[in-house]
Amino acid sequence: MKVSIIGATGYAGAELLRLLLRHPEVRVAHITSESHAGQSISYVYPHFERIMNQPLESLDNIEAIGEDSDFLFIGLPAGYAMTIGLELEKLPVRIIDLGADYRFHDTAVYEKWYKIEHAHKDAKCVYGLAELYRDAIKDAKIIGNAGCYTTASILALAPLVKYGLIDTDSIVIDAKSGVSGAGRSAKLPNHFPELYDNFKAYGVANHRHTPEIEQALSDISGKPITLQFTPHLVPMSRGILSTCYAKLKDGETAERVDGAFQAMYKDEFFIRLRGRNAYPETKYVRGSNYCDLGWHIDERTNRVIVLSAIDNLVKGAAGQAIQNFNIACGFDEKLGIDMIPMYP
């Protein structure tokens, strides 16, 4: 398959390129970057030296790139993918957007949370969280790749919601991310002296991933779900640990919780059930497409606490995009992304 990466010099784009270069059914046709057009990818990212020295193109030629590609992976900030999708609407090229433009069933929700008018309201798109939307992904022309915080949190809570074990009004998500999730552009809060030896919350009560988590869990539940989500920034480069709390319904037991996770994920290669009383860690999934889950039952408060660990650049971005690509192409879902996590 001929694929192109639009926005190849962001962290997610570069990670996507690294993974696609080891995919046996892929040929990378075009890579773009507005800030580095004309330079080789190995000049911008020296870790590609002797592996790939292809020049980066600008978006001036997007129609020609679309005509020369079976798939476009778009790794651009919110607001850009929708204009590309609209421009290439009549071409057979399929799109996987690593941003937020195509993640929402209702574009009004996107406009409310992202403060951007949606230019492609009638797009035929599906949400790209492979384990939950696999059937829809198979034939989708546009796939809105799930976000990083959302992937960790949705996968943690989905079994509890699906099997009706919790009071959905009681959900609280407390998640921590490495700084690569903020992107490569220089920002004062991510400056080393500001970040090092520090730990902080941000986006309290208004983070843009909140409605995305609510949408997926509402799909599973069959009724609207509103929840509390608070993200935190950790002074490390990769990884997300999401700690999710919910009140168990009266009469539900630890064994029922165990059974829900087993029933939902026993055949999912990329979800590793660490089990009850386990403590997933970001280092155990670093550089991989795995999501590790562990859960605890607090009998004193009648709450279930689920811990979810992913690599935000892989399962939270590039790896998940390739998992979606494999599904859409009819390939083995693990193809090109079944690597062992890096440790330590």
Catalytic residue list: 148
DSSP conformation class of 191: S
3-state SS string for 271-293 = EEEEEECCCCCHHHCCCCCCEEE
Q: Judging by beta carbons within 10 Å of its beta carbon (0-12, 13-18, 19+), is residue 251 exposed, middle or buried?
A: exposed
DSSP conformation class of 58: -
Sheet with 240-248, side-by-side order of all strands: 200-201, 228-234, 166-178, 240-248, 303-310, 291-298, 271-276
Q: Token pair for residue 172?
A: 């609280």
DSSP assignment of 224-288, as one string? ----EEEEEEESSSS-EEEEEEEEEPTT--HHHHHHHHHHHHTT-TTEEEEEET----GGGTTTS
Q: Token pair for residue 92?
A: 């057979």
Contacts of 185 (CB under 8 A, 6+ apart): none
Question: How many angstroms separate the CA atoms of 203 and 93, rounded?
Answer: 36
